[in-house]
Amino acid sequence: MPKANVICRCEEIEIDEIREWIARGYDTFDELKRELRVGMGPCQGRGCRDIILREIAKATGQPVAEIAPGTMRPPVKPIKISLLAEDFREGEHR
């Protein structure tokens, strides 16, 4: 069985796929996220983000610190629909 190096466990994305899309010019975290769904799973990129940013840094020659980490969105942790629904406030803007 060939070895698979899974970087994003939520979406089961391997390092080779990430490198392939970086080579095609998708060399920002947000572009890779949109194409491969890395960072879109339940962990929201907690597992894969740093590894991917390092890969982008390697490919573009920029320091990791200068690679945009992509947008982080609420909620911080997954919340059940029933629990969220209780938070609705009538009359407040949405």
Positions in the binding site for other proteins (CB under 8 A) = 24-26, 28, 30-31, 34-35, 37, 40-42, 44, 73-75, 78-82, 84-89, 92-94
Query: Cβ closer to other proteins: 3 or 93?
Result: 93
Instruction: Report, in Å, the least distance between residue 3 CB and other proteins.
Output: 25
Cα distances (angstroms) measured from residue 11 to each of 25, 27, 38? 21, 19, 7
Would you say how long the chain is, in residues? 94
Instruction: Report, in Å, the least distance between residue 7 CB and other proteins.
Output: 18
Instruction: Report, in Å, the least distance between residue 24 CB and other proteins.
Output: 7
Separation between Cα atoms, residue 94 and residue 89, nearest integer Å? 9
Separation between Cα atoms, residue 27 and residue 81, nearest integer Å? 34
